[in-house]
Amino acid sequence: MIFFIPNFDRNENLTFLQKVKTVDWLGTVLSCGGFAAGTMALSFGGVLYPWGDRRIIAMFILAFVLFVVFFFTQSRNIWTTVDHRIFPMELFKSRTLILLGILVGKYMAPVRRSFDLVTNFTRDTALGGGEIFTAIFYLPPLFQFVNSDTPVQAAIRLLPLVCLGVGFIMVNGALMPKTKYYKPWFLVGTAVSTVAAALMYTINENTSKAAIHGYTILLGAGIGSYYQACMVVAQIHVGKEKVFTAITFIAARKFQLLSKTETAVNTS
């Protein structure tokens, strides 16, 4: 399959040096530094160093400070302009975008119980694409340690979750533009994924494979109904010139989701 990327240049009338000058270099350095420090803290904490280690605490503090400075510079347009800053602060005025960010960014924190695998599924179920990532991380160890599956067999058992998730994403992408309504997809999808997550919470070492597969099918169908729709809805609620920024905002929330899910895996 060959992908043809269109040649799109929004600043075709500018020279290379003029384009370089439009980059928000201060915002770029601050945001990259904040994400790097936060990711290192979440990755190293509980693995290389204890969570209370001064190095982990220092990285968390550094990430917090960098993001505070970043948002301050963005709000004051320091060394940049309103049109060229990385993150237009006006997106925070959109209730829909904030809710979409929460929806894709909320993650499920494992809860310690006697059976410390997928049984410890969630404290936050109604919101969050983190459900599907948590299931992907925790189901293979469950099948390997409890049911003595090989790694390949454990991976194959993820197919119901993945296939239903991808399938309903495609169904959502095909039908939502025709129906012109997006809220029902979010309402029904989050309701179904909540029921699925509640059922996953009941899993223990005696739960049958068929039951687990049924729960994952329900989970994939629920999350697939709305997860990628966030990108489309975000574009609808901003002006044409802010489409790329809105997509970046949603994508950044997904990046934070992955980091938090990794933390859940490292600490369990």
The string of pLDDT tens digits covering residues 100-148 is 766 665 443 333 333 333 333 333 333 555 677 778 888 898 899 888 8
Q: Please say if the pLDDT value at position 200 is more than 50.
A: yes
pLDDT (0 to 100) of residue 12: 65
- Do 80 and 104 reside in the same domain of the chain? no
Lowest-confidence pick of 29-33, 86-90, 114-118, 192-196? 114-118
- Do 179 and 268 reside in the same domain of the chain? yes
Q: Of 87, 122, 152, which residue is a domain's last?
A: 87
Q: Please say if the pLDDT value at position 52 is more than 80.
A: yes
Q: Please say if the pLDDT value at position 251 is more than 80.
A: no
Q: Please say if the pLDDT value at position 34 is more than 60.
A: yes
- Do 73 and 119 reside in the same domain of the chain? no
Lowest-confidence pick of 41-50, 145-154, 196-205, 254-263? 254-263
Structure tokens at 223: 């999350």
- Do 101 and 216 reside in the same domain of the chain? yes
Q: Of 46, 72, 87, which residue is a domain's last?
A: 87
Beta-ladder partners of 49? 45
More confident residue, 147 or 160: 160
- Do 12 and 114 reside in the same domain of the chain? no
| Pairwise CA distance, residues 69 & 29, whole Å | 11
Predicted confidence band of residue 37 (pLDDT cuts 50, 70, 90) = very high
- Do 40 and 109 reside in the same domain of the chain? no
Which of 82-86, 186-190, 211-215, 249-253 is predicted most confidently? 211-215
Structure tokens at 15: 């020279």
pLDDT (0 to 100) of residue 67: 93
Owner of token pair 């237009």: 88
- Do 35 and 167 reside in the same domain of the chain? no
Are residues 98 and 81 in contact, defined by beta-carbon separation less than 8 angstroms?
Answer: no
pLDDT (0 to 100) of residue 160: 93
Tally of domains within the chain? 2
pLDDT (0 to 100) of residue 217: 94
- Do 122 and 238 reside in the same domain of the chain? yes
Q: Of 59, 87, 115, which residue is a domain's last?
A: 87
| Pairwise CA distance, residues 267 & 145, whole Å | 18
- Do 74 and 99 reside in the same domain of the chain? no
pLDDT (0 to 100) of residue 89: 78
More confident residue, 35 or 106: 35
More confident residue, 233 or 108: 233
pLDDT (0 to 100) of residue 254: 58
This model's pTM is above 0.85: no
- Do 128 and 39 reside in the same domain of the chain? no
- Do 29 and 104 reside in the same domain of the chain? no
Q: Which domain holds residue 32?
A: 1-87
- Do 118 and 231 reside in the same domain of the chain? yes
